[in-house]
């Protein structure tokens, strides 16, 4: 039986493709973007997260944990020893305030399809469907492929939100079941791409070209991160690449926001862009104009 690790299922989504959609968030990502809105998606395995602000120091979790994996420091901050923790979920159950959570749930294809099929009437009514997102869904290719096939059997519209950092063999194996690729493009300069995402961009650009040459339906998604990729030169290079290499017309530019900053605290991760503020509306309009000069259809927002 094929199973996968899912960290969230969002129903009635209207920003992850056309119509009303169910978005399935896969756990695990090969990138570590500094602005990631879902840092809980990055680690490949399930993990415990702890929200210090919600904790009332009742120590119910500590008492319940048979593995003695939880310890308390003098400042009242709990830490979990990942070597001892078996992810049994007992501490989560014991926590009245939901300060402890397990991120990442093992699910079968049938379990996910049951969730997806609950809203078929809404997809039909709105021209929607299902979007596989993450994390990076291609990291769990077999699970993704099985879900895509199951959706196609039910004639459900499918979208895959990908960072593109996967082998062509993986993309090639799923593409016939994908109605729309939501393809993320961050930076054209390879050194900057490595710095801010942790990986080079060559494979990402090559895969995007290959999908486009195969005639796939692609919506390019560019997060606009002030001080990272919002300079005119990067935008002009992005526009030129999209227009001349890809035969691609649709680009969504997504203004940076930092609403996920609390998640970094819960995961004990450092947020590298704490000084960065969202771009002004005027700058987003200018960026749209820069890209439109390359004969691209540009939309601000998803």
- Regarding 99 and contact with ligand SF4 (CB under 6 A), the answer is yes
CB of 56 to ligand SF4, least distance (A): 5
Choosing from 19, 89, 198, 302, the residue that interacts with ligand SF4 (CB under 6 A) is 89
Among 85, 187, 224, 296, the residue binding ligand SF4 under the rule CB under 6 A is 85
User: Taking the complex as a whole, how short is the minimal distance between the CB of residue 87 and ligand SF4, in angstroms?
Assistant: 5
State which of residues 27, 100, 186, 193 lies at the interface with ligand SF4 (CB under 6 A).
100
Residue 268 binding ligand SF4, by CB under 6 A: no
Given candidates 9, 44, 88, 210, which one binds ligand SF4 under the rule CB under 6 A? 88
Residues 6+ apart with CB under 8 A from 70: 61, 62, 78, 79, 80, 81, 91
Of the candidates 90, 101, 108, 126, which one interacts with ligand SF4 according to CB under 6 A?
90
Tell me which residue of 8, 2, 14, 6 sits closest to 129, measured CA to CA. Answer: 14
Alpha-carbon gap, residue 50 to 302, rounded angstroms? 30
Quote the crossing angle between the two packed helices 281-292 and 232-240, to the nearest 10°. 40
Report, in Å, the least distance between residue 100 CB and ligand SF4.
Answer: 5
| x-or-dash string of contact with ligand SF4, 43-82, rule CB under 6 A | -----x------xxxxxxx--xx-x-xx-------x-x--
- Which residues, including other chains, have CB under 8 Å from residue 105's CB and lie 6 or more apart? 5, 6, 7, 46
Contacts of 183 (CB under 8 A, 6+ apart): 162, 164, 208, 211, 218, 219, 220, 221
- The residue among 31 and 65 lying less far from ligand SF4, judged by its C-beta, is 65
The answer to whether 193 and 33 are in contact (CB under 8 A) is no
Residues in touch with ligand SF4 (CB under 6 A): 48, 55-61, 64-65, 67, 69-70, 78, 80, 85-91, 94-95, 97, 99-100
């Amino acid at each position: 039986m094929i199973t996968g690790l899912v960290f969230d299922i969002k129903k009635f989504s209207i920003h992850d493709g056309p119509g009303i959609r169910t978005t399935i968030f896969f756990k695990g990502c090969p990138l570590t973007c500094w602005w990631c809105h879902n840092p809980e998606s990055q680690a490949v395995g399930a993990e415990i997260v702890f929200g210090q602000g919600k904790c009332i120091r009742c120590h119910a979790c500590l008492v319940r944990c048979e593995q003695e994996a939880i310890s308390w420091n003098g400042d009242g901050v709990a830490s979990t020893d990942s070597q001892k923790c078996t992810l049994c979920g007992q501490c989560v159950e014991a926590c009245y305030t939901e300060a402890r959570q397990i991120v990442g749930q093992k699910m079968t294809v049938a379990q996910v399809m049951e969730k997806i099929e609950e809203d078929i009437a809404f997809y039909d009514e709105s021209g929607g469907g299902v979007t596989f997102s993450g994390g990076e869904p291609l990291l769990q290719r077999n699970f993704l492929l099985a879900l895509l096939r199951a959706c196609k059997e039910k004639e459900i519209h499918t979208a895959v939100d990908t960072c593109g950092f996967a082998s062509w063999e993986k993309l090639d194996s799923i593409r016939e079941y994908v109605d729309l690729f939501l393809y993320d493009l961050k930076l054209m300069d390879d050194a900057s791409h490595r710095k801010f995402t942790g990986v080079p961009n060559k494979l990402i650009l090559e895969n995007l070209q290959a999908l486009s040459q195969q005639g796939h339906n692609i919506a390019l998604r560019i997060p606009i991160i002030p001080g990272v990729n919002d300079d005119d030169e990067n935008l002009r290079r992005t526009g030129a690449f999209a227009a001349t290499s890809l035969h691609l017309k649709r680009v969504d530019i997504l203004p940076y926001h930092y609403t996920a900053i609390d998640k970094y605290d819960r995961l004990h991760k450092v947020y590298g862009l704490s000084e960065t503020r969202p771009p002004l509306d005027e700058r987003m309009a200018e960026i749209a104009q820069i890209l439109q000069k390359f004969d691209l259809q540009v939309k601000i927002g998803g």
